[in-house]
Amino acid sequence: MSELDSYYSYNVGKIVEEIRSRKSKKVLIQLPDGFKHYSTKLLGRLTKLLDNVEFVVDANPIYGSCILNNHILINYDLVLHFGHEPYPYTSHVNEKVVFLDFLSTLIPSNRLMNDLIAIIKSLSIRKVAMYSVHQHKGILGDVGRFLRNAGIDVLNNLGNATIMGCWFNDVLNYVNTADGYIVVSSGLFHSLGVGMLCRGLKHVIQLDLYRGEVRLLDDVVVKYLKIRYGKIMNSLDAASWCLINGVEGQFRNGVRERLIDVLTARGLKYLEYQSLIINQETLRNIDNEDIDVYVITACPRIPIDDLQDFEKPVLTPGEAFMILKNINEYLFPW
């Protein structure tokens, strides 16, 4: 058994059925970054079952279902998109795209669950809402039962509790009733997003199955919020604003129009750019003395995770609205 099949489960039968039912001859495979190194093993298994099908792997960055690389899809009969849910903010998805589960087979050990209970009880938490990234959604029910048996009330529906980098499901529905949130994920990305969405007002506990650890992220959330408030303070007197818009699911015209309306109403100058890739090099290529502050209307995590050290303030839409509309509470993402 390969490492892929040891650590992840996916429905080969559904893949074969989709390809055969659509009579697809040329198929594009999209895997999230971090999983692309499994592509050779996946291809090896699929080509044995479907030797008359041409498979190609999309090597472009794929951080979510917000960007499907539609400019590439035209060349294929079918696109197999692994490891993400359909993007909630997109009303129309290309009919060629099939979303497939790519689930971790890791389960939390008794030691890890006891560590989780210990942290929860040390904080006097009695009610929680729990969420996970796509690959861990299969274990939420078991974790929920463990928590309830320990006297912890789980408030949300664990059958629909997947979150993304800018979409946090129904997290805010429990901000007034939950004592804290549990996020099953690795890295800081998703757990930090929940903490920032809740403005650091609730405990955020991360259950990391890959590292085998439980981590209280309250201090991390506060640290990032302080950094973001610093960016906001440095932008209060900005007279010239630069909006950088994304593409496909990251072209948020509604957010863009709202920003333009309030900028115009306040008599502030603005200019717009649009880009598929937004990083420090992108900004340095366009930066000039006529720009005081940048607002990324594409992915709201880019200012927080990728452009935090840029020499001029780079804001999320929510942070821009805080300044332009005199909103005192932290607003994330837009």
Q: Give the amino acid at 137.
A: K
The architecture of the domain spanning 234-324 is: 3-Layer(aba) Sandwich (3.40)
- With vertex at residue 186, the alpha carbon angle to CA 317 and CA 206, rounded to the nearest 5 degrees, is 85
For residues 63-86, b (16+ Cβ closer than 10 Å) or e, as one string? ebbbbbbeeebeebbbbbbbbbbe
pLDDT tens-digit readout, 139-167:
999 999 999 999 999 999 999 999 998 99
Helices (H), the chain: 3-7, 12-21, 39-49, 70-73, 110-122, 140-149, 189-197, 218-233, 253-265, 280-286, 301, 317-324
Q: Where in the chain is the domain with CATH 3.40.50.11840?
A: 3-104
Q: Which CATH superfamily, name and number, covers 3-104?
A: Diphthamide synthesis DPH1/DPH2 domain 1 (3.40.50.11840)
Superfamily of domain 110-224: Diphthamide synthesis DPH1/DPH2 domain 2 (3.40.50.11850)
**Model confidence pLDDT, tens digit, residues 73-121:** 999 999 999 999 999 998 777 899 999 999 999 999 999 999 999 999 9
Residues carrying CATH 3.40.50.11850, the chain? 110-224
pLDDT digits (tens, 9 = 90+) for 189-219: 999 999 999 999 999 999 999 999 999 999 9
| Global pTM exceeds 0.85 | yes
What's the token pair of residue 229?
Answer: 């408030």
Q: What's the Cα-to-Cα distance from 250 to each of 115, 165, 247, rounded to whole Å?
A: 38, 12, 5
The mean pLDDT of the chain is 95
pLDDT at 4 over 90: no
- Asked if pLDDT for residue 258 goes beyond 90, the answer is yes
Per-residue pLDDT tens digits for 158-196? 999 999 989 999 999 999 999 999 999 999 999 999 999
CATH 3.40.50.11860 residue spans of the chain: 234-324
> What pLDDT is attached to residue 7?
87
